[in-house]
């Protein structure tokens, strides 16, 4: 993830080398969502990053696998579907690590976002160990791989999600703040004030945004302490094409809170799961959600 810069700050966001070189260019705000999974076994430990991208001509998928030292072992792209197959298999051997990727998106159904909702599967095995399975077509995959007696178990744990969201006044997303927890609806409203709802319950209201354009607050979700940080400076004082940032981070006892940091520190550590030691971050802080909110014209 060396080309995946922090999305906090006043300079907007770039996602990959294929993005616009200008971070304040609206074309850089691709419709995408990225999930980071931590995987650990006797033969391999590291991170699996899955990015779903929505283009004008169809959907795309990018997968990157890193070892525990953050060294990228492979980056594999399934291009926009107008020009590529919707199902397939990829086998790689990189630095003594065997990587098997299976996907079938031929019957996938989508909502407004870039990721499929149903009718698909994505399966990844590392050193012939089942590592990650996404989708609802388990039976189809088992039949293809003759795994009826040995189910393909997803052992990777979701530790972070980052999503570009779009709107004029209203922005929405979904998040699961703990493993096996409930999937929550998140709605952000920003006009003269900033209001955030989780499952239609107001958890944050910020008045006088010109004075409170950055800040943080602790909320409770499923009995879990969640630190919520917002930065809407660019909406108020920047270019119309700049994005606002919202960070939701589950906390554990003893973790240093954003309340003890300055806004500059918070901006520098906005996407910490991609910086420093991913292992120590995910173990210390659990799950992180970063929403990069872009205003539609």
Q: 3-state SS of the chain?
A: CCCCCCCCCCCCCCCCCCCCCCCCCHHHCCEEEEEEEEEECCCCEEEEEEEEEEECCEEEEEEEEEECCCCEEEEEEECCCCCCCCEEEEEEEECCEEEEEEEECCCCEECCCCCEEECCEEEEEECCEEEEEEECCHHHHHHHHCCCCCCCCCCCEEEEEEEEEEECCEEEEEECCCCCCCCEEEEEEECCCEEEEECCEEEEEECCCCCCCEEEEEEEECCEEEEEEEECHHHHHCCCCCEEEEEEEECCCCCCCHHHCCHHHHHHCCCHHHCCCHHHHHHHHCCEEEEEEEECC
Residues 208 and 276 in one domain: yes
Residues 135 and 78 in one domain: yes
Mean pLDDT of 266-275: 40
The verdict on residue 19 lying in a domain is no
Residues 229 and 134 in one domain: no
Q: Given pLDDT bands bounded at 50, 70 and 90, which one contains residue 241?
A: low
Q: With 70 as the cut, is the pLDDT of residue 9 above it?
A: no
The verdict on residue 24 lying in a domain is no
Residues 116 and 168 in one domain: no
Q: Given pLDDT bands bounded at 50, 70 and 90, which one contains residue 21?
A: very low
For 200, the domain range is 163-295
pLDDT of residue 267: 41
Q: With 50 as the cut, is the pLDDT of residue 213 above it?
A: yes
The verdict on residue 4 lying in a domain is no
Residues 221 and 276 in one domain: yes
Question: How high is the mean pLDDT of the chain?
Answer: 79
pLDDT above 70: percentage of residues in the chain: 76
Q: With 70 as the cut, is the pLDDT of residue 183 above it?
A: yes
Structural domain count of the chain: 2
The verdict on residue 217 lying in a domain is yes
Q: With 70 as the cut, is the pLDDT of residue 74 above it?
A: yes
pLDDT in tens, 155-171: 888 999 999 999 999 99
Residues 229 and 259 in one domain: yes
Residue scoring higher pLDDT (151 or 158)? 158
Residues 147 and 179 in one domain: no
The verdict on residue 181 lying in a domain is yes
Q: With 70 as the cut, is the pLDDT of residue 151 above it?
A: no
Q: Given pLDDT bands bounded at 50, 70 and 90, which one contains residue 111?
A: confident
Mean pLDDT of 108-131: 91
pLDDT above 90: percentage of residues in the chain: 45
Residues 283 and 167 in one domain: yes
Residues 193 and 226 in one domain: yes
Q: Given pLDDT bands bounded at 50, 70 and 90, which one contains residue 275?
A: very low
pLDDT of residue 200: 93
Q: Quote the pTM value.
A: 0.81
The verdict on residue 18 lying in a domain is no
The verdict on residue 123 lying in a domain is yes
């Amino acid at each position: 993830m060396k080309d995946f810069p922090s999305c906090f700050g006043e300079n907007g966001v770039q996602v990959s080398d294929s993005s616009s070189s200008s971070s304040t260019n609206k074309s850089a705000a691709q419709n995408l969502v990225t999930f980071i999974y931590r995987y650990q076994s006797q033969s391999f430990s590291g991170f699996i990053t899955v990015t779903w991208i929505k283009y004008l001509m169809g959907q795309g998928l990018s997968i990157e696998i890193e070892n525990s030292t953050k060294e990228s072992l492979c980056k594999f792209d399934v291009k926009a579907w107008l020009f590529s197959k919707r199902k397939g298999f990829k086998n790689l051997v990189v630095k003594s690590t065997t990587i098997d990727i299976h996907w079938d998106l031929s019957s996938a159904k989508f909502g407004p976002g870039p990721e499929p909702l149903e009718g698909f599967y994505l399966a990844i095995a590392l050193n012939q160990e089942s590592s990650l399975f996404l989708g609802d077509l388990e039976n189809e995959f088992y039949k293809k791989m003759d795994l009826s007696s040995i189910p393909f178990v997803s052992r990777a744990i979701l530790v972070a999600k980052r999503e570009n969201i779009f709107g004029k006044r209203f922005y929405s997303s979904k998040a699961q703040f703990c493993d096996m927890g409930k999937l929550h609806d998140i709605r952000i409203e920003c006009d003269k004030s900033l209001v955030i709802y989780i499952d239609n319950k107001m958890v944050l209201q910020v008045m006088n945004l010109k004075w409170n354009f950055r800040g943080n607050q602790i909320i409770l979700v499923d009995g879990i302490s969640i630190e919520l940080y917002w930065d809407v400076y660019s909406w108020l004082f920047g270019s119309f094409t700049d994005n606002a940032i919202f960070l939701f981070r589950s906390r554990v006892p003893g973790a240093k809170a954003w309340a003890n940091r300055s806004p500059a520190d918070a901006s520098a550590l906005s996407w910490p799961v991609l910086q420093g030691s991913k292992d120590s971050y995910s173990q210390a802080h659990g799950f992180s959600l970063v929403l990069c909110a872009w205003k539609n014209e």
